[in-house]
Amino acid sequence: MQKIILFLRGYPVRATGGNQMYSETAAEYGTDSYIHYVLDTYSQTLIRLCYTYVHNICDAEDITQDVLVALLKRGRPFDSPEHEKAWLLRTAMNKSKNYLKSGWVKRTVPLEDSDNSEADSDMAEKNQVMEAVLSLPEKYRTVIHLFYYNGYSINEISAIVGKKPATVGTLLARGRNLLKEMMIGGFDEDE
């Protein structure tokens, strides 16, 4: 656990060695090099994905850490880098949903004067599109985030979220239409 905390604070790491299941830059599953490889490769993506669910950067970082702990507990290597990435993203989505369903979240009220609220509001002010995406219902928000922010294809998103490609395409189209209505509606009000 100490190594993860040190790495999350930004210590540079060079992944060495290799496993035939991974590219040359990846390390063998279960080693310190592998942990650093996963953190280098996926931590920011996981934090951003979790943030789309919980709308708080501190909670998103905590959930990401839980995902990484689950990876350590998993105990067996992945079949391919795609399987690894899909597992991490799916685990992050599930842990985010579980966090939102927890009694702790339902009984807490955010502090308006806290530093975290200011940071969250600054981020929302700087990016109206991201704010609009975050306001979408979960089913649209997830596919739009994976498609536009992470660059996945419809087939890849289908595998990650466990829906048919046609359903993912429909969710993307409907999500885009909702975003368009929000953005155009927002511009009409300003004029």
pTM of the shown model: 0.57
The pLDDT assigned to 7 comes to 39
Question: Closest by alpha carbon to 150, among 80, 56, 45, 61?
Answer: 45
Domain ranges of the chain: 1-111, 127-191
Q: Compare 56 and 129 and report the one with higher pLDDT.
A: 56
The pLDDT assigned to 120 comes to 57
Count helices and strands in the chain by DSSP H and E runs: 10, 0
What is the spatial distance between Cα 124 and Cα 81, in angstroms, rounded to a whole number? Answer: 33
153: CB partners within 8 A, 6+ apart: none
User: Residue 110, exposed/middle/buried by CB under 10 A (0-12, 13-18, 19+)?
Assistant: exposed
CATH 2.60.40 fits 1-111, yes or no: no
Work out the average pLDDT over 108-122: 55
What is the architecture, at CATH level 2, of domain 127-191?
Orthogonal Bundle (1.10)
Radius of gyration of the CA atoms of the chain, in A:
18
CB atoms inside a 10 Å sphere around CB 151: 8
The length of the chain is 191
Query: Residue 28 pLDDT more than 60?
Result: yes
Lowest-pLDDT range, 2-6, 50-54, 140-144? Answer: 2-6
